[in-house]
A and B are shown apart, each in its own frame.
Chain A
Amino acid sequence: GNSVTQMEGPVTLSEEAFLTINCTYTATGYPSLFWYVQYPGEGLQLLLKATKADDKGSNKGFEATYRKETTSFHLEKGSVQVSDSAVYFCALTRGRDDKIIFGKGTRLHILP
């Protein structure tokens, strides 16, 4: 079936460090890929998305590239801030399926 696997957390980094959160997926066809972010006490917010192979999604300094050959959609940011502390979810939707399939989430802590 369709699934998303992302790296286990928590991930703890110092401010201004480089961030990578790995995400791989299993899906038939051509899924759309997403990163959602959940700040403490808040709901899910779409961070970025990519709908076809080699697309790069970007927002707020975060980037992720849809790699069909490696079935990956790793999240990166060049210089993290304390305000980036949150839980990050990799997700997909497939074809005509409406539902979003989420990974387990990766908690990120940024230390000042």
Chain B
Amino acid sequence: EPEVTQTPSHQVTQMGQEVILRCVPISNHLYFYWYRQILGQKVEFLVSFYNNEISEKSEIFDDQFSVERPDGSNFTLKIRSTKLEDSAMYFCASRRDRQETQYFGPGTRLLVL
């Protein structure tokens, strides 16, 4: 069964460093998402992406964040200058069309020191 994959599974970085989190959505999916889950808290929407542009973003998704689909398979989330409060589990999700369910990847656990 096709699945969303994410790399790395864990990343540790120093405050102020740039990180790129990578996702490979399911191959025929067209809508892509990033969510995050701070430890012990609820899962929060960050951004949605369709047709090579952002469809919607939350207030969390400030100028330090960007997303990109650099080729036909990857979908990346970049944090330009990480802060301690960016430490969280980041989930990628995708779906084929707007009537379909979003399928989630296993997540990348980011720790900012």
Contacts and interface: CB of A to CB of B under 8 A. Distances in A.
Interface of A: 34, 36, 42-46, 49, 89, 96-105
Contacts of B35: 100
A43 B56 contact: no
B91 A44 contact: yes
A102 B43 contact: yes
A98 B55 contact: yes
Interface of B: 31, 33, 35, 41-45, 48, 50, 55-56, 58, 91, 93, 98, 101-107
B101 A98 contact: no
Nearest to B3: A43
B43 to A, nearest CB: 4
A99 B43 contact: no
A43 B98 contact: no
Contacts of A97: 56
A46 B101 CA distance: 8
A103 B43 CA distance: 8
Nearest to B92: A43
B104 A98 contact: no
A99 B101 contact: no
Contacts of A104: 41-42
Contact of A98 (B33, B42, B105, B107): B33
B42 A99 contact: no
A86 B43 CA distance: 15
Nearest to B55: A98
Contacts of A42: 106
Contacts of B103: 46
A101 B104 contact: no
Contacts of B50: 98
27 contacts: A34-B101, A36-B104, A42-B106, A43-B105, A43-B107, A44-B43, A44-B107, A45-B104, A46-B101, A46-B102, A46-B104, A89-B43, A96-B98, A98-B31, A98-B33, A98-B48, A98-B50, A98-B55, A99-B48, A99-B58, A100-B93, A100-B102, A101-B45, A102-B42, A102-B43, A103-B42, A105-B42
